[in-house]
Amino acid sequence: MKSEKVRLEIIDLRNSDTQTAAYVLLLGETGGKRRIPVIIGIFEAQSIAMQLENMKPARPLTHDLFKNFSKAFEITLEEVIIDKLEEGVFHSKLICVKDDERMEVDARTSDAIALAVRFRCPIFTYEHILASIGFVMEEGEAAGQDVMEPAEEKKTVSDKDLTKADTEELKELLKRAIDDEAYERASKIRDELNKRKKPR
């Protein structure tokens, strides 16, 4: 049984700190503080960015073609739902409508969001997904804002050492990662914390 839906909005799109030719798409709950980082490819990032900036390519991109095709056959994209998280990978569904008939179509999350911004339709996830993977950004930690910290306090633990850190250390590392806007690292730390909550 699915939990209640939570609406999301695009907060930021930036280069990945850990993967080449990849980007981090930061989604946040509408009217809330929780955030979800989604790793996407360069093509999808370009497609989303161009639409957000209202830039028109000389020829239609793949996502533009999909929208034009749907429009020609009177298919409307009603909403996008990020409905699963498996092994660190988000899965999404396109909720489409034609002649009052609703259809669900599986899609990569990056493609689904690229289409959502074109159709101007809402993006949702489920509360249980947001509760398990989302992290909180406090007021004053808006994207792009530098957070100053004394250099001597910025000790780091490599990803391989996360399993060796105790729970309190992980919570502190998670806070620092969020403060530094290192969303991928924050996601890995949150995964490690979630593993420890599961019964063994």
Q: In this model, does residue 152 exceed pLDDT 50?
A: no
Rg of the chain taking only CA atoms, in angstroms: 18
What pLDDT, on the 0 to 100 scale, is given for residue 40? 92
One domain for residues 47 and 126: yes
Helix (H), strand (E), coil (C) string for 59-114: CCCHHHHHHHHHHHCCCEEEEEEEEEEECCEEEEEEEEEECCEEEEEEEEHHHHHH
Q: Residue 91's domain spans which residues?
A: 5-133
128: pLDDT confidence band, cut at 50, 70 and 90? very high
Yes or no: say if 2 and 121 are a contact pair by the CB < 8 Å rule.
no
Average pLDDT, the chain: 82
At 200, is the pLDDT very low, low, confident or very high (cuts 50, 70, 90)? low
pLDDT digits (tens, 9 = 90+) for 22-69: 899 999 999 998 999 999 999 999 999 999 988 888 889 999 999 999
Number of domains in the chain: 2
64-94 pLDDT tens trace: 999 999 999 999 999 999 999 888 889 999 9
Backbone angles phi, psi at 130, to 5 degrees: -60, -40
Q: Is residue 141 part of a domain?
A: no
Domain boundary pick from 133, 156, 179:
133
**What single DSSP character describes residue 159?**
G
